[in-house]
C-alpha cells in the first residue's frame, strides 16, 4: 500500500501538471477565434454559388485553414467593403488582392496565389490601335472597376479619362452598349465576365497589356504575425507537394502558375 506521503506527492505533481497544461492551452485557445476572410465576385478565382463561396482561391484558403487548424469565416462581399474591412478589422483578410507598391504597407501578405495580366480591351468591330499608355489617354472614357489595383495605378499615372464603376460586370456592360470605347480588365476573369454580360470572347479584343501582377491573401495589420507566417509556410508546402498545382489547374487550366513568394 502506498504511503500517505507518496499519495500527497503524486497529488501535488498532478496539480502542477494540470496547471502547466492549462497554461499551455491558453494561447492555443486564442487562435481558435475564427479568421474573417472576405472575397469578391471574381470568377473563377473567387465568387459565390447560391450564397456559398467557391473558386480557385477559396479552395486554397480552405486547405490552408485545414492545414493550420485555423477556423475561418468566409464571406463574399463588394470589393470596397472587403478592402476596407481587411485594413481595419483585427483577425481579418481579403483575397485575392493584388500586391502593389502602394498597398505594401497596408497589409500582411501571403502568396502569391495567381499571376495576372491587365490590359485595355475594346469591341473587336470597333477596336482602335493602342500601343502605349499614352495612346489610351486619347480615346475617350475608359471603363474600369473602382478601387481595383489597375484603377489606383492609372489614376496615379495621371489618367484623366477613367470612368470608374462599382465592378467588372458594369464595366463589360458599358463596353457592350458602346458607352465607352475601352475597358480595363485582367486575363483571369475576362471570359467569365464576358459570358455574364452576354459577350463572346471573340467579340472583344486585347489592345495593349500594361500590368503584370501577383495576387495574394492580404491580412490586416492587427492579425497575429505568427498566424500569417504559418499560412505562408503552409502555402509553400502546398506548392511543393503538388496540391496547389492541382487546384490551380482545375480552375485555371493553361494559366501561368505562381512560384514561391514572388515579390511585386
Shared domain for 111 and 228, answered yes or no, is yes
Q: Give CA–CA dist 66/53, Å, rounded.
A: 16
Q: What is the pLDDT of residues 79-109, one digit of tens each?
A: 888 999 998 888 999 999 999 888 899 999 9
Look at residue 15 in the predicted model and tell me its pLDDT. 42
Shared domain for 106 and 121, answered yes or no, is no
CA distances from 225 to 89, 107, 230, 234 (A): 14, 11, 9, 14
In-domain check, residue 22: no
In-domain check, residue 2: no
Domain count, the chain: 2
Shared domain for 138 and 218, answered yes or no, is no
Total residue count of the chain as it appears in this document: 264
Look at residue 100 in the predicted model and tell me its pLDDT. 84
- Smallest CA-to-CA distance from 183 within 166, 197, 170, 198 is with 170
Structural domain including 89 reads: 32-115+213-251
Shared domain for 129 and 208, answered yes or no, is yes
Q: What cell does 217 get? A: 491573401
Q: What cell does 229 get? A: 507566417
In-domain check, residue 1: no
Strands (E), 124-261: 142-145, 162-165, 182-186, 204-219
Look at residue 162 in the predicted model and tell me its pLDDT. 96
In the sheet with 142-145, reading across from the earlier edge strand, the strands are 72-76, 35-39, 92-98, 204-219, 108-123, 182-186, 142-145, 162-165
In the predicted model, residues of the chain with pLDDT beneath 50 are 1-9, 11-30, 263-264
Coil vs helix vs strand at 117: strand
Shared domain for 146 and 99, answered yes or no, is no
Q: Is the dihedral of CA 144, 145, 146, 151 positive or negative?
A: negative
Shared domain for 103 and 218, answered yes or no, is yes
Shared domain for 133 and 195, answered yes or no, is yes
Shared domain for 121 and 101, answered yes or no, is no
Counting runs of H as helices and runs of E as strands, what totals does the chain give?
9, 10
Shared domain for 205 and 222, answered yes or no, is no
Look at residue 32 in the predicted model and tell me its pLDDT. 63
Sort strands 142-145 and 204-219 into parallel, antiparallel or unpaired: unpaired
In-domain check, residue 145: yes
Q: Give CA–CA dist 259/245, Å, rounded.
A: 10
Shared domain for 163 and 100, answered yes or no, is no
Q: Are 218 and 102 in contact (CB under 8 A)?
A: no
Shared domain for 204 and 224, answered yes or no, is no
Shared domain for 51 and 95, answered yes or no, is yes
Alpha carbon dihedral 237, 232, 168, 85, in 10-degree steps, equals: 150
Q: Are 143 and 123 in contact (CB under 8 A)?
A: no
In-domain check, residue 59: yes
φ, ψ (nearest 5 deg) of residue 122: -140, 165
In-domain check, residue 50: yes
Q: Is the dihedral of CA 171, 156, 210, 218 positive or negative?
A: negative
CATH value at residue 51: 3.40.190.10
Look at residue 27 in the predicted model and tell me its pLDDT. 39
Q: What is the pLDDT of residues 113-138, one digit of tens each?
A: 999 999 999 999 999 999 999 999 98
In-domain check, residue 258: no
In-domain check, residue 5: no
Q: Are 64 and 72 in contact (CB under 8 A)?
A: no
Q: Give CA–CA dist 92/227, Å, rounded.
A: 11
Look at residue 148 in the predicted model and tell me its pLDDT. 87
Look at residue 166 in the predicted model and tell me its pLDDT. 87
Amino acid at each position: 500500500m502506498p504511503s500517505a506521503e507518496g499519495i500527497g506527492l503524486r497529488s501535488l505533481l498532478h496539480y502542477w501538471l494540470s496547471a502547466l497544461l492549462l497554461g499551455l492551452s491558453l494561447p492555443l485557445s486564442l487562435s481558435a477565434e475564427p479568421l474573417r476572410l472576405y472575397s469578391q465576385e471574381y470568377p473563377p478565382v473567387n465568387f459565390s454559388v447560391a450564397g456559398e463561396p467557391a473558386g480557385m482561391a477559396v479552395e486554397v484558403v480552405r486547405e490552408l485553414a485545414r492545414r493550420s487548424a485555423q477556423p475561418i469565416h468566409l464571406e463574399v462581399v463588394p470589393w470596397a467593403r472587403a478592402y476596407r474591412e481587411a485594413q481595419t478589422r483585427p483577425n481579418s483578410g481579403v483575397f485575392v488582392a493584388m500586391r502593389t507598391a502602394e498597398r505594401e504597407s497596408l497589409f500582411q501578405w501571403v502568396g502569391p496565389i495567381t499571376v495576372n495580366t491587365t490590359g485595355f480591351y475594346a469591341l473587336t468591330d470597333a477596336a482602335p490601335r493602342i500601343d502605349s499608355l499614352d495612346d489610351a489617354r486619347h480615346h475617350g472614357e475608359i471603363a474600369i472597376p473602382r478601387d481595383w489595383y489597375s484603377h489606383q495605378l492609372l489614376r496615379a499615372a495621371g489618367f484623366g479619362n477613367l470612368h470608374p464603376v462599382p465592378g467588372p460586370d458594369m464595366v463589360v456592360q458599358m463596353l457592350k452598349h458602346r458607352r465607352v470605347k475601352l475597358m480595363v480588365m485582367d486575363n483571369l476573369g475576362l471570359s467569365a465576365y464576358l459570358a455574364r454580360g452576354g459577350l463572346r470572347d471573340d467579340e472583344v479584343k486585347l489592345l495593349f497589356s500594361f500590368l503584370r501582377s501577383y495576387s495574394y491573401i492580404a491580412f490586416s495589420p492587427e492579425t497575429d504575425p505568427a498566424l500569417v507566417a504559418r499560412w505562408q509556410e503552409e502555402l509553400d508546402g502546398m506548392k511543393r507537394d503538388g496540391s496547389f498545382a492541382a487546384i490551380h489547374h482545375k480552375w485555371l487550366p493553361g494559366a501561368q502558375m505562381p512560384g514561391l513568394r514572388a515579390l511585386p
